[in-house]
Amino acid sequence: MRWNSRPFATPLNSLQSSFAEPAAVFRSARRGACDERGLVLVAVGISCEVQFDGGGYVVLVEGATRETALQQLWMYEQDRSRRPPLPVEPPPPRARAWQGSVVYILLLLLPPFALAQGWFTSSPYHIGAMDPQLIRGGQWWRALTALTLHWDATHLLGNLAAGALLGVSAAQVWGNARAWLLIGFASLCANLAEALLPLGQYISAGASTAVFAALGLVAAHAWHSRNQGTRTLRDWAPLIAGVALLGMFGSGAQDPQSTVSDSTNVLSHALGFLIGVLLGLAVATRRGGRWLDAIPSWVAAAAMPAALLVAWFLALHSAP
């Protein structure tokens, strides 16, 4: 039991106590703490009083019961220290979490619309698809522009639906602006990391990396939000579910004329998921959360659209 050894402001025998020989067994600056210990003593049949001595509150008992009272309070403190912490209530979901997904859908629909209108002077796949060799050669913008290109309608619709749903889940946690900033940053890092790996020559495109980055972010948040003590299999369920989804939908579309195995897409998705998990765990910490909250909402909202605009500007001006 923790005891404050600071001397009493008033001698115990001068306090207005009903005990013939009052003995102090607990002292605190808070009346509530003394009342709590007093209830413990009353529950085991030990009479006590709470008095104010001018410098704080003190729990008094009859001198003959002092040792018993101290023993009971010690047992109470031991039991109190072993109690599991109260579960932390998660914050309520953010309102209007669907708005960021609407912007996501519009951004993915813009390139095929521009292609249908004949606005491109050269093939967007030739200047903007994921080509690791060219990225290593300095065309870093392909790591972003490739996210907005798809080989066919099925490829596009799949990423539209999955990305929008996962984007809503992420936006309910971090808000629209910061959630999509995290998704876009994780996708960019995943594509750049993939370009550095010696996988041979291939061309790929699609927002699947962003979809799995969002999945990793949401899974990491769900995992971190559970009990922070000893982990059970149930506590690992969000990450296990994310890995299961990665295995189920890991393969995606790539250049139909490519001779490279589709395993490159699985790796791309795995990198997106992994970096999403790491980023989600980073912003779940106090320091990471403060850094994320320090970003103004308007900056977070404009960052990825502006980055895509710059990337496509560089891609269009790199065309021969």
Q: What percent of the chain has pLDDT over 70?
A: 79
pLDDT grade for 8, boundaries at 50, 70 and 90: very low
Q: Quote the pTM value.
A: 0.68
CATH match of 12-81 with 3.40.50.150: no
Comparing 57-66, 107-116, 240-249, the range with the smallest average pLDDT is 240-249
Residue ranges matching CATH 1.20.1540 in the chain: 99-318
Per-residue pLDDT at 5: 37
pLDDT at 16: 67
Q: Rg of the chain's alpha carbons, rounded to an integer? A: 31
For residue 238, what pLDDT band results from cuts at 50, 70 and 90?
low
The verdict on domain 99-318 having CATH code 1.20.1540 is: yes
- Give the separation between CA 72 and CA 21, rounded to whole angstroms: 19
Tell me the C-alpha to C-alpha distance, in Å, between residue 258 and each of 122, 131, 176, 200.
Answer: 20, 11, 36, 11
Parts of the chain belonging to CATH 3.30.70.1530: 12-81
Average pLDDT over residues 163-188: 94
pLDDT at 313 over 90: yes
Question: 13-22, 80-89, 235-244 — which one is most confidently predicted on average?
Answer: 13-22
Burial class (CB in 10 A: 0-12, 13-18, 19+), 207: buried
Task: Name beta bridge partners: 22.
Answer: 62
